[in-house]
Amino acid sequence: MVHGKRLMTHSPPQLCFYCREKEATAPYVHAGIDEVVCSVCLKRLTARDALEDRLMEIVTLASQGRYDDALACLNEIFEANRHLDDDQWLARSIAMHRCAILVDAERFTEAEQACRAWAALGFETVDARWLQASYLAQALDALGRPREALGVLEEALGHRDPRYLPLARGLLRQLAELSEELDQIVAPEWRHLAEAVARRFRVELPVADMLADSIIGLAKTTRDLRPASLDEWEKDEGKTSAP
């Protein structure tokens, strides 16, 4: 009480269930989830659900060789929800699936175009950049442009994020195989990355006369291994670097 009046207290606004940053203003109900989210997240979640609810259909169509039908589904989803795509998350996701379908269909000229269109949208994370580079390199190699494909992989691997280090294994293998195809050695600069990937899987980089053989051997020996988590790996790295 102050001068006979009761002080009014206001509870802080409820935060968005999804981002935990903005004020929650709208209900979100889907697949057993019933929460309140902000207007920005509601748009992304609605767009995400529109895609994810039909992914099994798209995968099934592609597995049946009905590639045009799968691509038509992607286009339909995008056109119906593009008004929600303020941050281009849906556009990037559609682009990713389009690239995967076209590479699987061995429609490599279209795949190259799709990969470049994806890159024009930008990448939110390193793993997305790496995946795009993998698809583009496959397309370029199939089109008889292995040297260009190698350059794509090298540029992509120049972008690093420890969270996604295990995924570099696949790109390194592509890089090694393209180098062999071009009858050239793998640049020594990639040894450090290959060794880091090996440590993430808690193995040693296989010893071989050529770095390409070591990288390919690493991919084979770790094929069924689970990588250490980021926290586990950082602890291991700390022990390794300790005096």
Rounded Cα distance, 161 and 127, in Å = 8
Reported as a pLDDT band with limits 50, 70 and 90, residue 15 is very high
Instruction: Report residue 184 as tokens.
Output: 């050239």
Asked if 216 and 176 touch (Cβ cutoff 8 Å), the reply is yes
Mean confidence (pLDDT) of the chain: 92
Q: What is the pLDDT of residues 76-109, one digit of tens each?
A: 999 999 999 999 999 999 999 999 999 999 999 9
- Please tell me whether residue 126 adopts helix, strand or coil conformation: helix
pLDDT at 224 over 50: yes
Q: What is the pLDDT of residue 241?
A: 47
pLDDT at 37: 92
- What letter represents residue 158's amino acid? G
Token pair recorded at residue 108: 């490599």
Span 143-153, average pLDDT: 97
pLDDT score of 13: 83
| Contact call for residues 190 and 157 (beta carbons, < 8 A) | yes
Phi, psi of 2 (to 5 degrees): -130, 115
Chain centre distance of CA 116: 16
- Ordered by start, the domain boundaries in the chain are 13-41
Count of residues in the chain: 243
> Which of 1-15, 121-135, 164-178, 228-242 shows the lowest per-residue confidence on average (mean pLDDT)?
1-15
DSSP 27: E
Mean predicted confidence (pLDDT) in 155-164 = 95
**Which among 218, 145, 199, 201 is positioned nearest to 153, based on CA atoms?**
145
Give the mean model confidence (pLDDT) for residues 59-74.
98
pLDDT over 80 (residue 242): no
pLDDT at 17 (0 to 100): 86
pLDDT confidence of residue 203: 96
DSSP state letters, 137-198: HHHHHHTT-HHHHHHHHHHHHTS--GGGGGGHHHHHHHHHHHHHHTT-PPPTTHHHHHHHHH
- The answer to whether the CB of 164 falls within 8 A of the CB of 197 is no
Question: pTM of the full predicted structure?
Answer: 0.87
β-pairing, 33-37 with 26-30? antiparallel
Among the residue ranges 9-13, 115-119, 153-157, 220-224, the one predicted with the least confidence is 9-13
pLDDT at 11 over 80: no
